[in-house]
Amino acid sequence: MRFKRFGASLLVTGLVLLGAASPALAHSELKSSDPARGASLATPPTQIKLTFSGPVTLADDNPIQITGPENASWTVGRAEVAGSVVTAPVKAVGPAGEYTLRYKVTFEDTHAASGSVKFNLSAPAPAASPSPSSSQAPAPAPASSADPAPQAAGTTPENLVPAWVWIVLAIAAVAAGVVVALRFTRRKN
């Protein structure tokens, strides 16, 4: 009889801990992208957008690359992070065909991840225009309200709780549950 109560108490404690820890153990993932996975585009995008299920930071200095047929490699500008959204301006070059967008990010739980999104370009990207002659000044880049937002505060890895802290807390909670269960069963007898 003692062991049944103890086992039931331990089971309930374990289920409560599992339910409470599930959100902390869940890994974030890519929710959507622009261009979308498998999209067929008539014209190349001027900006890419990756939306994740949780806050991210950029994994390195070159977190986004786009490559395609005939060794085409797009120029990707400085990527910006706003919470769970990563945006970067791009300049497309290359023929029609399948392109692969590769990304590297670090999620809020400090695990690094990489992935890819494949999409198709149905027409070749316009060839780069020749450099302007000395009599022509380059046109200034137009200001756009669609500029990406600066990186959100509080999403840097230094501000995150390491995974080992969650493990220690879970072990302490299980130990506390066992102590309570033992005291409860001792009082009954």
% of the chain at pLDDT higher than 70? 64
Residue 155 has pLDDT above 50, yes or no: no
pLDDT of residue 139 exceeding 50, the answer is no
Give the range among 80-84, 106-110, 128-132, 171-175 with minimum mean pLDDT.
128-132
Residue 172 CA to residue 124 CA, distance in Å, equals 60
Residues 6+ apart with CB under 8 A from 100: 66, 67, 68, 116, 117, 118
CA 105 – CA 52 distance, rounded (Å): 10
Identify the band that residue 26 occupies on the pLDDT scale cut at 50, 70 and 90: low
SS3 for 6-38, per residue? HHHHHHHHHHHHHHHHHHHHCCCCEEEEECCCC
Tens of pLDDT, residues 81-106: 999 999 999 999 999 999 999 999 98
The per-residue pLDDT of the chain, averaged, comes to 76
Picking from 68, 71, 67, 152, the residue whose alpha carbon sits closest to that of residue 103 is: 67
d(CA 167, CA 21): 9
Residues with Cβ within 8 Å of residue 79, at least 6 apart in sequence: 58, 63, 64, 86, 87, 88
Q: How far is CA 151 from CA 30, 84, 104, 143, in A?
A: 18, 10, 16, 19
Check the CA dihedral 65-68-72-77 and report its sign: negative
Model confidence at 125, in pLDDT bands (50, 70, 90)? confident
Query: Of the ranges 3-12, 81-90, 118-127, which one carries the lowest mean pLDDT score?
Result: 3-12
pLDDT for residue 152: 37
For 168, left (φ over 0), alpha (ψ -120 to 50), or beta?
alpha
Distance between CA atoms of residues 85 and 95, nearest Å: 29
- Claim: this prediction has a pTM higher than 0.75: no
